[in-house]
Amino acid sequence: MFNQIGVPGIILLLILGLIVFGAKNLPSMGRSLGSAVKEFKEGISSKEPNDQ
């Protein structure tokens, strides 16, 4: 799905995000998204036994 966007599409999405959310909010939103993705990956990769 994302491989069809291309570089111009990504640039357009970044510009739209800058317009909608403002320059001050984007860095904190990026950090929050990055930490959420990191925690999700750690949760997926942890191999805890099931409670069954």
Q: What pLDDT, in 10s, does the model give residues 11-43?
A: 898 889 888 888 888 888 889 989 999 999 988
Task: Supply 38's token pair.
Answer: 């990191």
**In the Cβ-directed half-sphere of 51, how many Cα atoms lie within 13 Å?**
0
Task: Supply 49's token pair.
Answer: 């036994």
Q: Residue 15 is which amino acid?
A: I
Burial (CB < 10 A; 0-12, 13-18, 19+), residue 35, is: exposed
Q: Sign (positive/negative) of CA torsion 46, 43, 38, 13?
A: positive
> Whole-structure pTM over 0.85, yes or no?
no
Q: Sign (positive/negative) of CA torsion 25, 26, 32, 36?
A: positive
